[in-house]
Structure 1
Amino acid sequence: MDRREIAALLAYIGRLDPRTSRIEGEARDQLAQWHELLGDVPMATPHGWDARIAARQHIRLSPYPILPADVARPWESYRRDRLGRHTDPTPSVDPDDQAAWTAELVGTRHAVATGTAQPEQYRAIASGQADPRLAARLREVGSCIPPAARAALAPYRPAQAAREAAIAQGQPDALSIRCEWCLAPPGEPCRRRRIGPDGGARGTALRATPHPGRLDLAAAQQTTQVPQSAVA
C-alpha cells in the first residue's frame, strides 16, 4: 500500500474504533509507521484479499486496539495458503533457455502469492485443459523428447526405437494393432510366449521386433487404407 492507501485504511479503522484516532502530529507518525510496516501489503487483490476486511475482523473479535501486525499476519497466511495450493505449470518457453524458464516460474509464483492470479491445481483434479502455449510449442518441435535424448534412450527401449525407425521409412506401424499371437494390445511391444507341456505360458519377455503375423496385419491394414484415402 502507498501512503494514500494507508491513510484511507487508517481513516476506515478510525470510524470503526475511535480509540485509534490520533491528533495531527501523532497521525503523521502513525501514517509513517504503518507505511513502513505495510508497504508491501496490498490494499486489495482480485482474488479474495482486502486489508479492510482483515482490520474489521480484528476490531470485531479482539478487545485490543489494532496494530500493523494484525493486518500483516492475515496477509502472510493468505500468501501461504495460495502457494500451498499452487502447482507450478510447465512453462511455455524453450526448456533449454534456463533463464527464461526460471523467470516464468518465478513470475507465476509471484502472481499467485500476490493475489493477481489463481493457483494452478493438478490437472487430474482440475479441468485437465492443457496450456495452449505449450501445445503450440510441442507442435513446433514435433516431440517432447529432444532428438539427442531419443537417440540416447534407443538402446534401452529397442521396440520403440524400431517402431520409430519403421514409421520414418514409411513401413507399416505394427504396434498400432493388436497382436493375434501374443495378444499384446495396441501400443505395446510383442512378447515371447513359451508354452509349457501343460499349455501354460512359461515366459513373457519383451521382443525388440513384433511378430511376423502382426507385421502382416499392419501391412494389410495400411494397404487397405491407402486406396480409401486416394478415393477420398
Structure 2
Amino acid sequence: MDRREVAAVLAYIGRPDPRTIPAGTGDARDQIVQWQELLSDVPFATAHGWDVREAIRAHILDSPYPILPMDVARKWRAYRRDRLDRHTDPTPVADPDNPTAWRTELLGTRHAVATGMAAPSPHRQLTGGPHPDVDARLAAVGSSIPPAVRAALAPYRPARAAREAAVAAGQPDALSVPCRWCHADKGEPCRSRRLDLDGHARGNAPRTRPHPTRVDLAVAELARQNAA
C-alpha cells in the first residue's frame, strides 16, 4: 500500500475504534509513516479474496485491543500461506530445455497466486469417469487383464488360476464361501494345517486346491441361489 492507501486505512479504523485517532497533524503523519513502512508489501485489496478492510473488521470484532500494523501484516502472511498451500504448480509452457525461462515462469505463477493476482491451481482430478475407449476395450477383451497376461501370471498365483479355471468351466467358485475345515474367510485360499500331538498347528501353507468340504458348500450355495 502507498501512503494514500494507508491514510485511507487509518481513517477506516478510526470510525469504529476512536482510540486509534492521533491527537494532532504531526502525530497523524508519524502514524502514516509507521504503518506504510510495515505494510508497503501488503495490497489494499485483490481480486481473489483479500481486502484489508475485512482483516481490520475481523480484528476489531475478535480482539479488545487496538489494531496495530503488524496485526494486518500477520493476516496478510496467513493469507499468502493459505493460497500457496492450496496451489499446485501447473506445468510451465516455457521450453523445459531452457531452465531460466522455466524457473522464471514457475516463480511468476507462484508470486501471482501468493499476491492474490491469480487463483490457486488445484490438483487435477478425474471428474468424468473413465474414457469411453476404456469401456469399449474392456467389452472387447472381457477383463482388465488380457488373456495372454493372465496365462503368463498363472504360475505365480496358482490359487487364483485354479479359481478362474473353475469359474470358466461353469463350476462354482469355492472361494466365494468360507471354509469350515481350515476356517479360511471368503476370498482367501484354503490352508494346509498340520497339528502336533498336543494340538498346536505347526504348518499353515496355502493350498492350490480348496478343501472338498468347501467345494461342496459352494455347490450347495450356488444351487440355493439358482433356486431362489
Corresponding residue pairs, total: 146
Aligned position for 2:7:
7
Separation (CA, whole Å) in 2 of partners of 1:37 and 1:126 = 44
Contact 1:80 1:113 in 2 (8 A): yes
Residue 125 of structure 1 deviates from its aligned partner by: 6.5
Aligned position for 2:146:
184
Distance 1:108 1:191, change over 3 A: same
Equivalent positions of 1:33-182 (< 5 A) are: 33-124=34-125
Equivalent positions of 1:200-215 (< 5 A) are: 201-202=154-155
Unaligned runs of 5+ in 2: 130-139, 158-228
What is the SS of the residue equivalent to 2:155? Answer: strand
Shift >3 Å, 4+ stretches: 125-128, 190-194, 200-204
Q: Larger Cα Rg: Structure 1 or Structure 2?
A: 2
Aligned position for 1:21:
21
Separation (CA, whole Å) in 2 of partners of 1:116 and 1:125 = 27
Distance 1:34 1:125, change over 3 A: farther
Q: TM-score normalized by structure 2?
A: 0.57
- Across the aligned residues of Structure 1 and Structure 2, the Cα RMSD in angstroms comes to 3.0
Amino acid at match of 1:3: R
The CA deviation string for residues 88-128 of structure 1, in whole angstroms up to 9 with x for no partner, is 01111111110111011101100100011111111116799
Residue 202 of structure 1 deviates from its aligned partner by: 3.4
What is the SS of the residue equivalent to 1:89? Answer: coil
